[in-house]
Structure 1
Amino acid sequence: MDHVETLECTLCGAEYDPDQVIYTCSEHPGVKGILEVRYDYDEVLDRFDESLDGDVRSQWKYRAFLPVADDVEPVTLGEGGTPILDAPRLGTELGVDLRVKDDGRNPTGVLKDRATAVSLTKAREFGIDVVTCASTGNAAASLAGFSARGGFDCRLFVPGDAPEGKLAQPLVYGADVLGVRGSYDEAYDLSMEVTERFGWYNRNAAVNPFQVEGKRTVGHELAEQTRGEVPDWLVFSMGDGCTIAGGWKGFREFHDLDLVEETPRMLGVQAEGASAIHDAFHGHDDADEVADTVADSISVGRPRNTVKACSTLEESGGESVLVSDEEILAAESLLGRTEGIYAEPAGAAPVAGLRKARDAGIVDEGESVVVVVTGNGLKDTKSGMRAGGEVERIDPAIGDVVERYDGGD
Structure 2
Amino acid sequence: MTAAPLVPSTQDAPAPAATRPYLLRCPVCRATYQDDGLRLDCATAHRPGLLTTEYATAFTPGPGSGPFRYESWLPTAGRARPEGVIGATYRAELLGRALGLTDLWVAFSGHWPERGAALSTGSFKELEAQAVLARLPERPPVLVVASAGNTAAAFLRACSRQGTACVLVVPETALPALAGAGERADCVRLVTVAGDYTDAILLADAIAARPGFQAEGGTRNVARRDGLGTALLAAAETIGRLPDHYVQAVGSGAGAIAAHQAARRLRAAGFPGAICSSEGAAGLPRLTLCQNTPFAPMVRAWQDGLAEPVIGSGPEVRAAVAASYAQELTTRKPPYAVAGGVREVLAESGGELRAADKAEALAAGRLFAEAEGIDVEPAAAVALAGLRQAVAAGRIRSGETVLLHVTGGGRARRAATHRPVLVEPELRIPAGLSAEAAAYLVTGA
TM-score normalised to structure 2 length? 0.75
State how far apart, in whole Å, the 1-side matches of 2:57 and 2:295 are: 37
Asked if 1 retains the 8 angstrom alpha-carbon contact of 2:68 and 2:83, the reply is no
Residue in 1 that maps onto 2:161: 149
2:36 corresponds to which of 10, 19, 22: 19
State how far apart, in whole Å, the 1-side matches of 2:217 and 2:412 are: 20
- What do residues 6-46 of structure 1 show as CA deviations (whole Å, max 9, x unaligned)? 241x44545444226222345569xx734322314xx212x
When residues 147 and 223 of structure 1 are mapped into structure 2, their CA distance, relative to the original with a 3 A threshold, is: same
When residues 209 and 28 of structure 1 are mapped into structure 2, their CA distance, relative to the original with a 3 A threshold, is: farther
State how far apart, in whole Å, the 2-side matches of 1:302 and 1:245 are: 15
Give the aligned residue type for 1:207. R
When residues 67 and 305 of structure 1 are mapped into structure 2, their CA distance, relative to the original with a 3 A threshold, is: farther
CA displacement at 1:157 relative to structure 2: 0.7
Residue in 1 that maps onto 2:94: 89
State how far apart, in whole Å, the 2-side matches of 1:336 and 1:213 are: 30
CA displacement at 1:294 relative to structure 2: 1.6
Asked if 1 retains the 8 angstrom alpha-carbon contact of 2:51 and 2:220, the reply is no
Q: Secondary structure at the match of 1:161?
A: helix
CA displacement at 1:2 relative to structure 2: 4.7
Q: Secondary structure at the match of 1:197?
A: coil
CA displacement at 1:73 relative to structure 2: 1.7
CA displacement at 1:264 relative to structure 2: 2.1
- What do residues 366-403 of structure 1 show as CA deviations (whole Å, max 9, x unaligned)? 4331111111252799xxxxxxxxxxxxxxxxxxxxxx
CA displacement at 1:249 relative to structure 2: 1.1
1:365 corresponds to which of 398, 409, 413: 398
Give the aligned residue type for 1:63. E
Residue in 2 that maps onto 1:302: 333
- 1:103 maps to 2:116: no
Residue in 1 that maps onto 2:24: 6
When residues 20 and 136 of structure 1 are mapped into structure 2, their CA distance, relative to the original with a 3 A threshold, is: closer
Q: Name the structure, 1 or 2, with higher relative contact order (CA <8 Å, separation 6+).
A: 2
1:193 corresponds to which of 202, 206, 209: 206
Number of paired residues? 366
Residue in 2 that maps onto 1:385: none
2:54 corresponds to which of 32, 39, 49: 39
Asked if 1 retains the 8 angstrom alpha-carbon contact of 2:24 and 2:52, the reply is yes
Q: Secondary structure at the match of 1:206?
A: helix
State how far apart, in whole Å, the 2-side matches of 1:327 and 1:11 are: 39
CA displacement at 1:146 relative to structure 2: 0.5
State how far apart, in whole Å, the 2-side matches of 1:208 and 1:305 are: 15
State how far apart, in whole Å, the 1-side matches of 2:406 and 2:166 are: 27
Residue in 1 that maps onto 2:178: 167
Give the aligned residue type for 2:239. T
Structure 1: runs of 5+ lacking an equivalent: 382-409
State how far apart, in whole Å, the 2-side matches of 1:270 and 1:340 are: 24
Q: Taking every aligned residue pair, what percent have the same amino acid on both sides?
A: 27
CA displacement at 1:339 relative to structure 2: 0.9
State how far apart, in whole Å, the 2-side matches of 1:212 and 1:354 are: 23
State how far apart, in whole Å, the 2-side matches of 1:369 and 1:294 are: 25
Asked if 2 retains the 8 angstrom alpha-carbon contact of 1:26 and 1:33, the reply is no
Give the aligned residue type for 2:237. E
Question: Map of 1:217-236 to 2, 5 A cutoff?
Answer: 217-228=230-241, 230-236=242-248
State how far apart, in whole Å, the 2-side matches of 1:305 and 1:149 are: 34
Residue in 2 that maps onto 1:354: 387
CA displacement at 1:110 relative to structure 2: 1.2
CA displacement at 1:305 relative to structure 2: 5.2
State how far apart, in whole Å, the 1-side matches of 2:413 and 2:291 are: 18
- 1:78 maps to 2:77: no
Q: Secondary structure at the match of 2:355?
A: strand
Tell me which stretches of 4 or more aligned residues in structure 1 moved more than 6 Å.
none
When residues 279 and 96 of structure 1 are mapped into structure 2, their CA distance, relative to the original with a 3 A threshold, is: same
Residue in 1 that maps onto 2:356: 323
Q: How big is the alpha-carbon RMSD for the aligned residues of Structure 1 and Structure 2?
A: 2.7
When residues 27 and 161 of structure 1 are mapped into structure 2, their CA distance, relative to the original with a 3 A threshold, is: farther
**Mean Cα displacement is larger for which, 173-182 or 214-223?**
173-182
Give the aligned residue type for 1:166. A
When residues 357 and 246 of structure 1 are mapped into structure 2, their CA distance, relative to the original with a 3 A threshold, is: same
Asked if 1 retains the 8 angstrom alpha-carbon contact of 2:365 and 2:381, the reply is yes
Give the aligned residue type for 2:331. V
State how far apart, in whole Å, the 2-side matches of 1:380 and 1:324 are: 25
1:345 corresponds to which of 373, 378, 387: 378
Asked if 1 retains the 8 angstrom alpha-carbon contact of 2:172 and 2:195, the reply is yes
Asked if 2 retains the 8 angstrom alpha-carbon contact of 1:78 and 1:107, the reply is no
When residues 338 and 64 of structure 1 are mapped into structure 2, their CA distance, relative to the original with a 3 A threshold, is: same
- What do residues 34-75 of structure 1 show as CA deviations (whole Å, max 9, x unaligned)? 4322314xx212xx5447xxx8611111111111233x123x
When residues 110 and 204 of structure 1 are mapped into structure 2, their CA distance, relative to the original with a 3 A threshold, is: farther
State how far apart, in whole Å, the 1-side matches of 2:337 and 2:297 are: 8
Give the aligned residue type for 1:173. R
Structure 2: runs of 5+ lacking an equivalent: 1-18, 112-118, 275-283, 415-445
Q: Secondary structure at the match of 2:192?
A: strand
Asked if 2 retains the 8 angstrom alpha-carbon contact of 1:135 and 1:184, the reply is yes
1:335 corresponds to which of 342, 355, 368: 368
2:273 corresponds to which of 228, 244, 261: 261
CA displacement at 1:107 relative to structure 2: 3.4
When residues 121 and 375 of structure 1 are mapped into structure 2, their CA distance, relative to the original with a 3 A threshold, is: same
When residues 356 and 324 of structure 1 are mapped into structure 2, their CA distance, relative to the original with a 3 A threshold, is: same
CA displacement at 1:350 relative to structure 2: 1.4
Q: Secondary structure at the match of 1:109?
A: coil
State how far apart, in whole Å, the 2-side matches of 1:306 and 1:160 are: 30
Residue in 1 that maps onto 2:311: 288
Q: Secondary structure at the match of 1:346?
A: helix
Residue in 2 that maps onto 1:250: 262
Give the aligned residue type for 2:195. G
Asked if 2 retains the 8 angstrom alpha-carbon contact of 1:112 and 1:215, the reply is yes
- What do residues 235-260 of structure 1 show as CA deviations (whole Å, max 9, x unaligned)? 11111111011011112211111023
TM-score normalised to structure 1 length? 0.81
Give the aligned residue type for 2:353. S
Residue in 1 that maps onto 2:73: 65
